[in-house]
Amino acid sequence: MTASPTAPDFLSDQLALRERRVLVPADGADTAVFTYEPSPADDAAPAILAVHGFRGTHHGLLRVVDQLPGVRFVMPDLPGFGESGVLPTGEHSVAGYGRWLGSLADELGLGPETVLLGHSFGSIVAAHFAAAHLGRFRRLILVNPISAPALEGPAGIAGRLAELYYWSAAKLPESAGAALLRSPAVVRVMSGIMAKTKDPDLRAFIHAQHHAHFSEFANRASLLESFKASISHHAAETADRLDLPVLLIAGEKDEVADLADVRRFHERCADSRLTVIPGVGHLIHYETPEPAAAAIEEFLAEGGA
């Protein structure tokens, strides 16, 4: 594992040295792909294709990547987010993102030995893709997996409030709606609710990350389609169809992906293991990358990677 992160960025200087960026056409979308090569170089290193969460970009997973220098991470910005273009045809739905993901993997030559990872909304996309394309990837990692309908259960109230927020943004004129969606005040409130750490420096880092990247979406239409996708499906819908080893990494205090729901998901999977990280909520990738990376490292070793 790497040494402790460098304050105030909480990312090591080595991370930038591992990065290379390419623009790849996938299902018609110009997709920005950020690959983090293993250090030292190793052609036999395991490869993980990682799908980030709703309104995020590849940046959100960098603290986990930083903890796994021996792994090759391939991390695209989802269509409509970050530096990637929108899908030119079809909606930004779970099925639409699934078609894009398969196209991207083919374009990059990522074979079945690749491990697929999804965080939050990315867990929905990754799980549905794995269930629909049996044998396409050999292992599946889901971090903060969305394991129940967003508008039901303990997270239902927050889900309804989010639905009202996005519905309101959709009803406003284009400029006003986009301004509401990019509102720094709203982003700060969301960030403050999700962060559980008491470390003031880490909280400042998390808020800065959300401020910098949470509004990097292409346009209102694609964002609203993505939000609709995020509340219309969940990863546990696929539990009975997943025929590959699955690692679930859950936060004890996650208010978005409730731990009880994740446990039920785990029990329904034919071949899964569950890591619960205490004291953290929906920001495992920011707040507790070390135990998350340790669980991933053990999971990869289990598969002979």
**pLDDT value at residue 7:** 40
pLDDT in tens, 180-239: 999 999 999 999 989 999 999 999 999 999 999 999 999 999 999 999 999 999 999 999
pLDDT in tens, 71-91: 999 999 999 999 999 999 989
**pLDDT value at residue 2:** 43
**pLDDT value at residue 157:** 73
**pLDDT value at residue 150:** 82
Instruction: Tell me whether residue 41 is exposed, middle or buried, using C-beta atoms within 10 angstroms of its C-beta: 0 to 12, 13 to 18, 19 or more.
Output: exposed
For the chain, what is the mean pLDDT? 93
**pLDDT value at residue 6:** 41
Nearest-Å Rg of the Cα atoms of the chain is 18
3-state SS, the chain, equals CCCCCCCCCCCCCHHHHHEEEEEEEECCEEEEEEEECCCCCCCCCCEEEEECCCCCCHHHHHHHHHCCCCCEEEEECCCCECCCCCCCCCCCCHHHHHHHHHHHHHHHCCCCCCEEEEECHHHHHHHHHHHHCCCCCCEEEEECCCCCCCCCHHHHHHHHHHHHHHHHHHHCCHHHHHHHHCCHHHHHHHHHHHCCCCCHHHHHHHHHHHHHHCCCECCHHHHHHHHHHHHHCCHHHHHHHCCCCEEEEEECCCCCCCHHHHHHHHHHCCCEEEEEECCCCCCHHHHCHHHHHHHHHHHHHHCCC
pLDDT in tens, 15-44: 999 999 999 999 999 999 999 999 998 989
**pLDDT value at residue 305:** 53
Neighbours of 277 (CB within 10 A): 23
- CA atoms of 305 and 299, how far apart (whole Å): 9
**pLDDT value at residue 5:** 44
**pLDDT value at residue 153:** 67
- CA atoms of 233 and 230, how far apart (whole Å): 6
pLDDT in tens, 140-183: 999 999 999 886 766 677 778 888 999 999 999 999 999 999 99
